[in-house]
Amino acid sequence: MMSATPLGGIHHVTALATDPAANLDFYTRVLGLRLVKRTVNFDDPGTHHLYFGDEEGRPGTILTFFPWPLARRGSRGAGQATTTAFAVPGGSLAWWRQRLAQEGLPVGDARERFGELVAGFLDPDGLKLELVERAWAGDAPAWNDGPLPPQQAIRGLDAVELLVRDAGPSLELLREGMGFAEIGREGSRVRLAAGDGPPGARVDLVADADASFGRISAGTVHHVAWRAADDRAQLAWRERLAGRGLDVTPVLDRCYFRSIYFREPGGVLFEIATDPPGFTLDETVEELGGALRLPAWLEVDRAHIEMVLPSLGLPGSAE
């Protein structure tokens, strides 16, 4: 069996939305993220796949969406990643709370968790988000030409929260099977970190034996992707996880990374995605998000795809 290089934390989180134009406006204008890539759901090319992240689209900063305009609102519950947290520089939470309030978004009071200040809010589809003041965030690269002041701007993903009915099997997989280290406990919340704890490496496992199972639809997370350094590391992880009896998919080509998928024992869908080739595969850093990008096997259908995709409301464009 090949030895598996430690996972590098979160690669991306993928969620579901309704109106693609509203989704684009919220994550770029309100939260100040960059539209890193405009493509489609490879399995449903009449649906946008929008990637938001930092200026260069680095793994660990990416939140992606499949917007389905007619989708019903989902429900958070057991077997899901119920919260996605972004890291912001220390001292910036008051600024963020004021900004979100000015946008008419109810935002919770700043509270302390594991010694850090946290505030929660919902996106337009009800996706549960948090902002966390992190000591490292002030030194992380900021988008200097972005829409928000660099000193307060989001620096990337910080953590995801997983809700399960029974923490035992999930905790065993995360620790023994995936190499996460337990770094803290508060009540029913167990905090773990991947590898040596780089930014975006944390996961909070929350157990509630009475929780109803969630329903994946608009306003919920579809899956959480963890970082593999390269193809070889990913194959080693596939072998290791399959050896533990998990039903792991074959490697799938997502153009900007390659992916394997499996469900952890609590029901949350996990992906392990490769860092390379990255989002600059078909666009320069300056061009990221500027045009609809399709994989080679869908280019023949570009005219039809562009015709059926819902409008993104971009200035000067039918998209």
Residues making up the chain, counted from first to last: 319
Q: Looking at residue 255, what is its pLDDT?
A: 96
End-to-end CA separation in angstroms for the chain: 48
Mean pLDDT for 258-281 is: 98
Q: Looking at residue 2, what is its pLDDT?
A: 59
Is 316 a residue whose pLDDT tops 50?
no
Q: pLDDT tens for residues 33-78?
A: 999 999 999 999 999 999 999 999 999 999 999 999 999 999 999 9
Is 317 a residue whose pLDDT tops 90?
no
- Dist. CA 84–CA 89, nearest whole Å: 17
Q: What percent of the chain has pLDDT over 90?
A: 92
Domain ranges in the chain are 10-308
- What is the strand order of the sheet 128-134 is part of? 111-113, 116-122, 128-134, 80-89, 156-164, 202-207, 189-193, 181-186
3-state secondary structure of 120: strand
Which of 21-25, 140-144, 192-196 is predicted most confidently? 21-25
Q: Looking at residue 5, what is its pLDDT?
A: 85
- Single-letter amino acid, residue 287: E
CATH number corresponding to 10-308: 3.10.180.10
Q: pLDDT tens for residues 214-253?
A: 999 999 999 999 999 999 999 999 999 999 999 999 999 9
Name the pLDDT band for 315 (thresholds 50, 70, 90): low
Single pTM value for the model: 0.96
Name the pLDDT band for 287 (thresholds 50, 70, 90): very high
- Single-letter amino acid, residue 128: K
- Dist. CA 178–CA 176, nearest whole Å: 6
Q: Looking at residue 318, what is its pLDDT?
A: 47
